[in-house]
């Protein structure tokens, strides 16, 4: 199980960035190269179950995810099925002056063909996730004005 975390300082207000990063229905417009389809299956309070078709590491996968939003600064995503079932992304958003410090802690659970890759995939997964966060931050900066 690869575990890792990374942090990025984003030049955007925390509340604005948090609102954009938890507006799931817009993900296919924000990052269409990664989020091919999103369908909200169930919404109950601060929990949302979403069926997603994603492109990640050159592969297209269908997965059901649970998103828990703890306003104003935490977003937890758990993979409910697929080869990464049990994987958890724990995102925190911290105000740093006019900026936001985003920290993402990832606990990857790999099965099937992905399990064989194990730790060898860790650096590739981490690098890809950083790229997605960079692109998301750029979108947020351009659309928060």
Pair 63, 84: CB distance under 8 Å: yes
Per-domain residue ranges of the chain: 3-143
pTM beyond 0.85: the answer is yes
38-82 pLDDT, tens digit each:
999 999 999 999 999 998 777 888 999 999 999 999 999 999 998
Q: Does a cis peptide bond (omega within 30 degrees of 0) precede residue 42?
A: no
How high is the pLDDT of residue 109? 81
What is the fold of 3-143? Alpha-D-Glucose-1,6-Bisphosphate; Chain A, domain 4 (3.30.530)
- Residue showing tokens 């937890």: 76
């Amino acid at each position: 199980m690869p575990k890792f975390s990374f942090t990025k300082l984003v030049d955007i207000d925390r509340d604005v960035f948090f609102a954009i990063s938890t507006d799931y229905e817009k993900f296919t417009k924000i990052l269409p190269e990664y989020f091919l389809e999103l369908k909200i299956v169930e919404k109950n309070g601060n929990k949302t179950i979403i069926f997603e078709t994603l492109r990640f590491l050159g592969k297209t996968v269908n997965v059901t995810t649970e998103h828990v939003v703890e306003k104003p600064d935490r977003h937890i995503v758990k993979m409910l099925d697929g080869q990464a079932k049990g994987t958890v992304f724990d995102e925190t958003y911290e105000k740093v002056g006019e900026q936001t410090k985003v920290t993402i802690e990832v606990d990857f659970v790999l099965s099937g063909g992905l399990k064989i890759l194990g730790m060898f995939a860790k650096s590739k997964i981490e690098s890809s996730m950083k790229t997605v966060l960079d692109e998301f931050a750029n979108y947020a900066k351009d659309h928060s004005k």
